[in-house]
Amino acid sequence: MNGWQRIRAALKGEWPDKRPIMLHNFMMAAREAGLTMQEYRSDPRKAARAHIEAVEKYDLDGVLIDFDTATLAAATGVPVDDPVDEPSRCSGALLQSIKDVDQLEAVDISKNERVQIWLETCSLVKKYFGDEIYVRGNCDQAPFSLASMIRPSEGWMMDLLLDEESSFKLLDNCARITGQFIRLMAETGVDMVSNGDSPAGPEMISPEMYRKFALPFEIKIVAVAHELNFPYGLHICGNTDVILQDMVKTGADAFELDYKTDISKIHEICKDRISFFGNIDPSGIIALGTAEQVEEKARELLSIYQDSPRFIMNAGCAIPPMTPSGNIKRLVDVTRSFPMDIT
């Protein structure tokens, strides 16, 4: 099997010949390619080269193409900072009052330069690898997360409590924007799409609020991807133990979850129905730990998932740029050599 076939099998619940590996490594890929984040986000040819070199250097099965968590927000008019060697980040908000939601103008993100660079990078990487390497085109923020950027985050939390009607209007607006990005991404030729929705996790809102305000819009976005015949992955940071059963209702094909979420609980709930990308601590273990610690954590994950084909090795979130090359190589070596029980 090649990398494309391995990940496709894992997403379908079929046994690959070896455990597949797809890393959330865009910052590390840029650094190893000699690029600042400013260079990476400004030139799709350079960004594509960084990912291609990383895949070939580490013998990865798939590539996750990501840029930051501020692209869709910027496309709507949210102020954004662009540090030279860090991902872009929101520096303000668009709506100072949720009552102004009706004044939001319709946005066509296809005309946004940041969006176009992201899409062109995905297209170039897919064109290069064809059906040898599986390409996951991340589509920035899910609706709840995007709404929390259009409004100041503290204000958004109060909006949910005090003005549900306007909050749902903003979420509907954000769902249209996220859905447009997924439709544009589908045209690039990638194999899979995904979004992040970390502000919807239990570290920010209660499970009840997740079910009311975030889950219905995640369901809508998954439906867009499935309408286009694309597998869909959902990423939420933090400890998601208490909402895992709810997340299953999104209909997502895969979860990428933080190391803070109990791997045994993930396995229990997901092993027979949803594929799992993860979930080694990207900073404490992969970037700052020893190769031996990386191996220990990798073996722990592989052992727990030994009875299920629905596992793709990854970190729990974005891997820091200064991660030692030797730690990634050890992760790949351990994953490749670990025996699978396919009986």
Domains of the chain: 3-337 (3.20.20.210)
Two tokens at 57?
């250097």
Per the DSSP assignment, residues forming a β-bridge with 199 are none
Per the DSSP assignment, residues forming a β-bridge with 195 are 234
Coarse DSSP helix, strand, coil percentages of the chain, rounded to the nearest 5 percent = 55, 15, 35
- Contact of 74 with 91, CB cutoff 8 Å: no
pLDDT of residue 81: 97
What are the two backbone dihedrals, phi and then psi, of residue 62, each rounded to the nearest 5 degrees?
-145, 170
pLDDT of residue 341: 72
Q: C-alpha angle 94/85/110, rounded to 5°?
A: 45
> What does the radius of gyration of the chain's CA atoms come to, in whole angstroms?
19
Distance of CA 193 to CAs 117, 181, 210, 282, Å?
16, 10, 22, 22
pLDDT of residue 166: 97
Distance CA 263, CA 305 (A): 9
pLDDT of residue 292: 98
What are the two backbone dihedrals, phi and then psi, of residue 234, each rounded to the nearest 5 degrees?
-120, 130
Question: Which DSSP letter does residue 272 get?
Answer: T
Give me the residues of the chain with pLDDT under 50, please: none
Amino acid at residue number 50:
A
pLDDT of residue 340: 82
Task: Give the rounded distance of the alpha carbon of 154 from its chain centre.
Answer: 24
pLDDT of residue 122: 98
